[in-house]
Structure formats: structure tokens, C-alpha cells
Amino acid sequence: GQQVMQIPQYQHVQEGEDFTTYCNSSTTLSNIQWYKQRPGGHPVFLIQLVKSGEVKKQKRLTFQFGEAKKNSSLHITATQTTDVGTYFCAGDHGSSNTGKLIFGQGTTLQVKP
Amino acid sequence: DAGVIQSPRHEVTEMGQEVTLRCKPISGHNSLFWYRQTMMRGLELLIYFNNNVPIDDSGMPEDRFSAKMPNASFSTLKIQPSEPRDSAVYFCASSLRAGAGANVLTFGAGSRLTVL
């Protein structure tokens, strides 16, 4: 079935270090979204990527969508304690937008001050 | 807007009891999703509705689970009878889906269910 794999599952970094999480789909995605969930909270939308090879930035966060539209990455530069949480990618499979978002398992980021 | 509203926020029940979780989506949103989150399985899509119609319920674990959306402003997820393995956080999310456009989900705060 349709799957979205995300690695690593956990990442512990020292404050100021960089962090990257990777997302891979078994099939081509029509679009991919990233969400952040703080401990005890709910997922909150960060960004959406639609075009092949697309790169978007939000302050210290850089999001990329692969050329084949099957993988994506989120890179955080110079992590801060406020970056703590679980980052999920979510993909809409198929050549057209079906509306069915499949979430990766998430990468939980811990930042040591 | 108050966002997606879920109730109850916490529920503790005994095995065999019926559980009903409720969701009020954002006004104007036409798609509604029910997800279940556990440590072992992550965020699983259970079912989603477009314009109050169930589109895909392939994620519903078994017949003990049912979901309804009688109108655009209300949905329920029912578990009957409940079992300990149903313990999880259940999230409702809504979105405005315009034609073939992508869904950007707004999640509710979740309902944490514990079945003893």
C-alpha cells in the first residue's frame, strides 16, 4: 500500500547544531506537506510543496521536494530549544490530488540547551 | 474562528463500553478527517469525508468503529464495544478542499482515550 517513510525516528542535538529529517514515499506524490507537533499538542501545518525540485524557506527552516516527487527533506539551521517537537511529512499520493494525506512516522527532535 | 473543536478531551472507560468522540470542523471547511495516534503506529488515517460524504474508510480498524457526518458542522467517531488496544489520541482535522487542490489540515486538540 501507499507508505511514507521518515528518518530518523529520533534526533538529539545540542542547541545551535543543525538538524535534518528525510521523507520517502513508495509512490509519486502530487504534493507533500510538513507539520510540527509539540509535546502534548496537535500537529500544526508548516508548509506545502507542490512542484518538482521545489525549495522553500521559513527563517531557519528549509524544505525541499525531490525532482521525482517521491522524497522530501526538512533542514533546520542552528536549532533552538523552541524547535523541540515531532516533525511529520504528509503526502498526497497519485497523479492527481485525492485529498488523502498519509503521514510519515515523524522525527522527534530533542534540543539540549 | 475557534478552530476545530473536539470533545471530550479525555475519556477513561472500561472495556466493552461504547465511546463516542465528537468533532466540530472549521466553518466553511468541506473535508473532515479522523486520525488515530499511538506510539507504535504513529498517525493513522481512519476515515475522511468530503462534503459530508465518506470517501475512504479503509483505515477504520474493524466493524467496532463507525463514523458519521450528519451535517457540515458535526462529526462523530464511535467505538462499540471498546477494547484496551483502542487506547490512543484521536484527532479530527478539517480542510477546505477546492476541486483537485491539496488539503491543508487544521487539527483539533485531540481526544485522549484510555480503555481499561
Measured between beta carbons, the chain A residues lying within 8 angstroms of B98 are none
Mean pLDDT along residues B87-95? 96
Mean pLDDT along residues B61-73? 94
Per-residue pLDDT, A96 = 47
DSSP B42-69: EEEEEEEEETTEEEE-TT--STTEEEEE
Least trusted range by pLDDT, from A69-73, A77-81, A101-105:
A101-105
pLDDT bucket at A57, cuts 50 / 70 / 90: very high
Q: Give the DSSP H or E segment for A44.
A: strand A44-49
Mean pLDDT along residues A4-11? 94
* Cell (9 digits) for B12: 477513561
CB of A1 closer than 8 Å to CB of A7: no
Secondary structure (3-state) at B85: helix
**CA–CA separation, A70 vs A67, rounded Å?**
8
Query: In chain A, positions 38-97, which contact chain B (CB-CB < 8 Å)?
Result: 41-45, 48, 50, 88, 90, 92, 96-97
pLDDT bucket at B73, cuts 50 / 70 / 90: very high
Provide CB contacts within 8 A for B36, sequence distance 6+: B43, B44, B46, B88, B89, B90, B91
pLDDT bucket at A95, cuts 50 / 70 / 90: very low
DSSP type of residue B100: T
The rounded Cα A33 to chain-centroid distance in angstroms is 7
**CA–CA separation, A64 vs A87, rounded Å?**
14
Sign (positive or negative) of CA dihedral B29, B33, B38, B42:
negative
Q: Does the CB of B107 have a partner CB in chain A at under 8 Å?
A: yes
Contact across the interface for A43 and B43, Cβ inside 8 Å: yes
